[in-house]
Amino acid sequence: MELMNTTRETFRVSFEFFPPKSDEMEAQLWDTVEQLAAWEPDFVSVTYGAGGSTKAPTLHTVRRLIGETPLATAAHLTCVDASREDIRSVVEDYRAAGVRRIVALRGDPAAGIGTAYVPHPQGYAQTADLVRGLVEYGDFDISVSAYPEKHPESADLVADIETLKRKADAGAARALTQFFFDNDVFERYLEKVRAAGIAIPVVPGIMPIQNLTQLKRFASRCGSSVPAFLDARFEGLDERPEDRAEVAADIAAEQIEDLIRRGLRDFHIYTMNRAPLVSAVLERLGRRQIDSPRIAAA
């Protein structure tokens, strides 16, 4: 595709990472962080498992990002299977580590997506309650989630947008969306969000496609649709990984370029802890790199 002529001022990006589960994944994460820091993200975020299942690795990752890089770092926090005291303890650990940005989420049910969510009896029932609690703790920049195709558990899009409004009214600074591939769907969703009186920024979540088959499985669980045009774009490339990567970068760059034309300026990219495809997308958009920090091996 033809390169856009863009700068950091044209659009802003943030990146999502997940905490590593092995030494090999740890090395891959920090190599990814080092490469992607060169794109000057507005911030990066680190995911957090239901019920604090990745509490220690998340905190370790966040501490290193804050201590060893210039990257503004947001830590995820969920309500699932945690009392208010449990959550306060995590928040105090975050605060001590220098965290001032939190992505507040209800989280998936501990028994897995598709099972009933049951609030902890001494916890926060929903994300809006968690956001209010974080506002009471003080000086946190709080992001929440949004779902252009509605959350799988929501009765309909109207109910889903009402949930987002409660989160915004509770004190969220922005919403980061679930990934999507149809920009018309996002634009219609944003129109409904604004009509509901929600004024906070709604940042499109962009998922560069590392593996289309795996993406389809994941999308089916989280309520995102995978348009037929993606099958057509990847047709015949199963045994041609280099060509497949080129097409994947083209698709994500084209999506962002179209959203920029529609007036969007902020994008949250799900990196899957891999740098090459994300970098290829940003290169296609003409974004300029800076010298990235060197990160020592753990």
CA 71 to chain CA centroid, Å, is 16
- Rounded to two decimals, what is the model's pTM? 0.93
Q: Of 2, 16, 153, 187, which residue is the catalytic one?
A: 16
Say yes or no: domain 12-284 is CATH 3.20.20.220: yes
Q: Looking at the DSSP assignment, which residues form a beta bridge with residue 203?
A: 176
pLDDT exceeds cutoff 90 at 123 = no
So where are the chain's domains?
A: 12-284
116 versus 95: the higher-pLDDT residue is 95
Show the beta-strand stretches assigned E in the chain: 12-17, 43-46, 73-78, 101-105, 141-146, 174-179, 202-206, 266-270
Residue 212 carries which DSSP code?
H
What's the pLDDT at 2? 53
pLDDT value of residue 256: 98
Residue 7 has pLDDT above 60, yes or no: no
| 257 annotated active-site | no
> What single DSSP character describes residue 4?
P
